[in-house]
Amino acid sequence: MAAGSGRIPHAFSGISSDGSQVIFILDGLPLDHIECDNLIRAALYAERAVVFSYGSVFLTYDDKTHTKSEELVISAGNTARFVQGSWPVLRSANGAIALGDPSFLTGNDPDQYPNTWFLCPNGQRQSIAKSIDVWNHVRSNAHYKKINFSTASSSSESQLSLRDKIRRDFGIDLLISGGYSKSSDDPIYVEAKDTHGADITEMELIKCIGRGGNLLWRTIGITPLTDSTLQRKIETQSLTENEVTTQTTNWYFLRTSSSARTATMPVVYRDNAAHIDFPYDIGWVHYDSFTDYEAKVPGLGYSLLYKAFGINATIYVYKKNGNTVPLELEKARADIIRARGVHTIKHEWEPHHEYNRSSYFYIPSNDDPSVDGIVVFDAGLNFGKIRITIIDDEVRRGMMNDCIARITAIIMGHQTVQ
C-alpha cells in the first residue's frame, strides 16, 4: 500500500482464539490519540482478540541536528509478550516511499508501553464503554478473514511442557519439569542444585504466571511439607473496571536436588558494606534487575528495579554527598523538572519532610494516568532513594505506600528477610 499510494496506513489487527482476524484502518477518523487508543482496546475486546498488531508513523525531532524525521513503528503481542519494529521512513522528491533498516525491541511487559498495552486490562484507565459504541458504528468498514491455525495450534500447545511455555512466552529457561501444581500430588519438579537456586526458580515461575495473567500478587506463606516438597501460598488481586477480586493460591514444588526444609524468600542482592539484604519480593513488587553504577563512577552506588502489574519501583543506594535529605530530594525534583519540562507536569503535591525522610509526588502530563513519586531518606553512610510509578487507582496507591514503607525498613535495617 505504501509503494502504490504513497502513504502508510495507521491500522491495527486482532486475531481471536478461533482464528478470526479483524483488520481496521484508522486513517480519516476524527479521533485524538487517547480516543484512538480506547477505540483499539474496545475493538480488540469486542472481537475477542488474543493477539494484536498495530502500526503507525511517528514524527521525531533531533535536538542536535534540529531536523524532523518519520518512523514507522509496528508492534505485535498479547498480554504477556510483545515485539516491536521501527523503520525510518524515506520519502523521495516524487513522493515515493521506502523504508530504512529496522531496529527491534522485545519484552515481557506489554502493559508498560502505549503501543503494546491494548490487550492488557484497562479498568485502571479510562473506560472503553463509549468506545464500544464507536466501534459498533464503524466496524462495518473493517476487513475480516479466517486463519486456519486453531487446530494445529491447540495440538502443538498440548504437547508443550510448562518449561517450554515459560521459555516461549517469557524468554527464560527454568530448571523445572513434572506437573502443573494443581494439587500437592501434582507438584512442579525443581531441578536447581542448591537451595538458593531452587528458591529463585520457584519465584521466577510464579512471577511469569502472574505476569501472563496480569495479576498483582504477593507471597503470604512458605511451608515445607516433606524433606523435598513445599507449598508457597500466594495472594492475588485481579483488577477490573468495577471490582477487585482477591484470591489465595497454593503452589506446590518438589525439589530434586535440594532440601525443601530450608526454603525461604531468596535474597537477590547483599550489600555487605551497608549490611542490607534485598529480598526477591518486597510486598507486591518483585525483583527484575540490578545496575552497578559504582563500577563506572565511584560514589554513585547501585540500583535495583522491582516490578508488578502497573507498578515500577527503582531503589537507589549511594554515598552521601554533603546534602541534607531535603536538599537531596530538591535536587532529584529539579532533575525531573529539567528533564521533563515544567509544563509536562500536570499536578504536583508539596514535598513532605519528616525527621530523616523526604518525599515528593506528582502526576505527569501524559496519555496514561499515573502517579510518580520520589522518596529520599537517611541510611547511615548512604542515601536511600526510591523512584516509583503506578497506574493511578486506589488499590495501587495503597500498594505504593506499603512498598515505600517496606523498602525504607529494609535499607535502614529495621527489617530482615525471613
| Amino acid 374: pLDDT | 93
Contacts of 168 (CB under 8 A, 6+ apart): 160
| Amino acid 368: pLDDT | 57
Task: Give 125-155 as a DSSP string.
Answer: S---HHHHHHHHHHGGG-EEEE-TTHHHHHH
3-state secondary structure of 157: helix
| Amino acid 228: pLDDT | 93
User: Which stretch of DSSP H or E encloses residue 203?
Assistant: helix 195-212
- Contact between 56 and 71 (Cβ < 8 Å): no
- Contact between 191 and 257 (Cβ < 8 Å): yes
CATH level 3 topology of 267-411: Protein Transport Mog1p; Chain A (3.40.1000)
| Amino acid 156: pLDDT | 56
| Amino acid 417: pLDDT | 40
Return residue ranges of the chain for CATH 3.40.1000: 267-411
Contacts of 120 (CB under 8 A, 6+ apart): 79, 110, 111, 214
Mean pLDDT by 10 residues, the chain (418 residues): 63 87 90 85 87 87 70 89 88 78 84 82 54 86 77 57 87 89 88 95 94 90 95 90 87 93 95 92 95 89 93 93 90 82 79 89 74 90 91 89 92 58
| Amino acid 366: pLDDT | 60
3-state SS record for 234-293? EEEEEECCCCEEEEEEEEEEEECCCCCCCCCCCEEEEECCCCEEEECEECCEEEEEEEEC
Q: List the one residue out of 102, 56, 49, 53 whose CA is nearest residue 82.
A: 53
Count Cβ neighbours within 10 Å for each residue of 19-57 and write b for 16 or more, e otherwise. Answer: ebbbebebeeeeeeeeebbbbbbbbbbbbebebbbbbbb
| Amino acid 149: pLDDT | 56
| Amino acid 61: pLDDT | 64
